A and B are shown apart, each in its own frame.
Chain A
Amino acid sequence: AQTVTQSQPEMSVQEAETVTLSCTYDTSESDYYLFWYKQPPSRQMILVIRQEAYKQQNATENRFSVNFQKAAKSFSLKISDSQLGDAAMYFCAYRRVRGNSGYALNFGKGTSLLVTP
């Protein structure tokens, strides 16, 4: 089974600064998808960014970017110009590409991000 590890239970960043959230995973597959989801206190999980393992180029979405290191099985999220609205739980997730069963997300335990004015 694939394991997703987020080693930072909590992180803090000042408004307008940059913060990086870490994620490592364990898999024997060569093709898969990785995601970062944001869960604000209202609990609605929202997709932040997605990376396809076969693509070497790191994904970016506005202020959010990833550092995908396939050999190291590392997938970190960088948030630039942090805003108060970025405060939330952030979950790293893995999803297989092919298989006989479904394609459910396999989540890490999450990192709580606090943004201070």
Chain B
Amino acid sequence: EAGVAQSPRYKIIEKRQSVAFWCNPISGHATLYWYQQILGQGPKLLIQFQNNGVVDDSQLPKDRFSAERLKGVDSTLKIQPAKLEDSAVYLCASSKNRDTGKNEQFFGPGTRLTVL
């Protein structure tokens, strides 16, 4: 079974530029998460989708970050414009459904973003 795929793996941009990340979850997984992991910290949830609907985006900086999950499969996360403090690893994770807390989340390899 293929795992969670993410691209690109690395991205370097200058502040005020735009950037987009892509995630393809495990086939059949209804729930998709985007986490931000700043160096030296644990991952922090940005947004959670259930199929193509948003479940939780309370920690997403909506003035600059946006995310979508068209057709309930792939997802893109966009930052526009980027700030220096957005430098982090962006992790995508998926799980079969959200209905029980014990469902395992499977993580992708992440995208390392550097904002200069």
Binding site for B on A (CB under 8 A): 4, 32-33, 42-47, 50, 52, 91, 93, 95-98, 101-110
Contact = CB atoms under 8 A, between A and B. Distances in A.
Interface of B: 3, 31, 33, 35, 40-45, 48, 50, 55-56, 58, 89, 91, 93, 98, 100-105, 107-110, 112
A103 B35 CA distance: 13
A95 B31 CA distance: 15
Contacts of A52: 102
B109 A104 contact: no
Contacts, number: 69
A14 to B, nearest CB: 26
Contacts of B44: 107
Contacts of B104: 47, 50
A102 B107 contact: no
A98 B101 CA distance: 7
Contacts of B43: 45, 91, 105, 107
Given A95-B101, A104-B33, A43 B48 contact: no
A98 B45 CA distance: 17
Contact of B45 (A43, A96, A105): A105
Contact of B48 (A96, A102, A108): A102
Contacts of A43: 89, 91, 109-110, 112
A11 to B, nearest CB: 16
A97 B101 contact: yes
Contact of B56 (A91, A97, A102): A102
